[in-house]
Amino acid sequence: MTITPIIKPETTASSANNAVLPNISWQTYQSMLNDMGDQRSILLAYYHGVLEIKMPLGLHEAINYLLERIIIALTEELDLGIRGFGSTTLNREDLAVGVEPDCCFYIQNYDRINGREIDLAIDPPPDLVVEVDITSPSNRRFAIYRDLGVPEIWKYSASSIRIYKLEASEYLESEFSLAFPMVSSEVLNQFLQQSVNDDNKLIREFRKWIREQINS
């Protein structure tokens, strides 16, 4: 499956938890980021004059938290380096794009990031981005990640997760992860869809599965 982002700058759309505003300058977008600060739940995305405002709900945050823990567990069990940057702002003024993912990680390139700040003018983009779609689709954001060169996206929607890899300037659905070749979307969905009311229990079971794959 190919993700084809639909960007319509002339369209204004909104819902209770999502709004899309056209004709927003880069300077206005940057001013909003500065005025709103870092301690907020609202996430912004900017693409050539179109600003998307995303306001996550509780279920969104619960799924995102669990996916973060799954990714961290993978790097720990596989003895991989990792740098997590949460929903940090990823901006490129020269490309007129910016986005705040639900969470993002450096894995293959973790050792290329110095300090606790990202400068995409000199640093590579994150190796893995997570987008959780509960009340609004993330297709619009895929165009931004494409322009930034993010190689892999995990997208959760409709109670399941799909893996996308960037190939020839398009995001194509993939069975297996690029960052974790042993992990498939099928396996991720098997764990995410378990009726477990304890996140720790689910993560313990997932770690057990990883170790079984390593030792098999």
Asked if CATH classification 2.40.50 holds for the domain at 57-215, the reply, yes or no, is no
Window from 24-28, 126-130, 157-161 with minimum mean pLDDT: 157-161
Tens-place pLDDT, residues 83-93:
999 999 999 99
CB 150 within 8 A of CB 105: no
Amino acid 20: pLDDT: 92
Average pLDDT score over residue span 77-84: 98
pLDDT digits (tens, 9 = 90+) for 8-37: 333 344 555 789 999 999 999 999 999 998
Taking a C-beta distance cutoff of 8 angstroms, is the pair 187, 209 a contact?
Answer: yes
pLDDT tens readout for residues 28-62: 999 999 999 887 789 999 999 999 999 888 888 99
Q: What percent of the chain has pLDDT over 70?
A: 92
Contact 125, 90 (CB under 8 A): yes
* Every domain of the chain and the residues it spans: 57-215
